[in-house]
């Protein structure tokens, strides 16, 4: 919560948690849903980084600490056991 509060400047008044199974690539659908949810502000987090993502960062495919939002492919490549 502290990371979210710092990112948006106050305690969030609402939150949504979405679990994606990983059996199929849902990247386009996740991006579309997040765009609608963040249309009027806020941030999104994912399981692959600690960064609170703004809609502008997500839509511009910004890279933070080597990852984009919901970048499970790169995350798994970086954390692959050898």
Q: What is the pLDDT of residues 33-64, one digit of tens each?
A: 999 999 999 999 999 999 999 999 999 999 99
Closest among 52, 41, 38, 39 to 4, alpha carbons compared: 52
**Residues ≥6 apart with Cβ < 8 Å to 59:** 35
Residues 16, 78: Cα–Cα separation, whole Å: 28
- What's the chain's length in residues? 82
Per-residue pLDDT band for 23 (boundaries 50, 70, 90) equals confident
Residue appearing with tokens 């199974």: 21
CB 35 within 8 A of CB 58: yes
pTM as predicted: 0.86
What are 64's strand-pairing partners?
67
């Amino acid at each position: 919560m502290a990371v979210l509060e710092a990112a948006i400047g106050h305690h969030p008044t609402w939150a949504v948690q979405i679990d994606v199974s990983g059996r199929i690539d849902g990247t386009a659908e996740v991006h579309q849903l997040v765009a609608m949810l963040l249309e009027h502000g806020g941030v999104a987090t994912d399981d692959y980084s600690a960064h609170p993502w703004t809609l502008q960062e997500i839509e511009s495919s910004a890279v933070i600490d080597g990852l984009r939002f919901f970048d499970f492919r790169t995350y798994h490549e970086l954390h692959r056991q050898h």
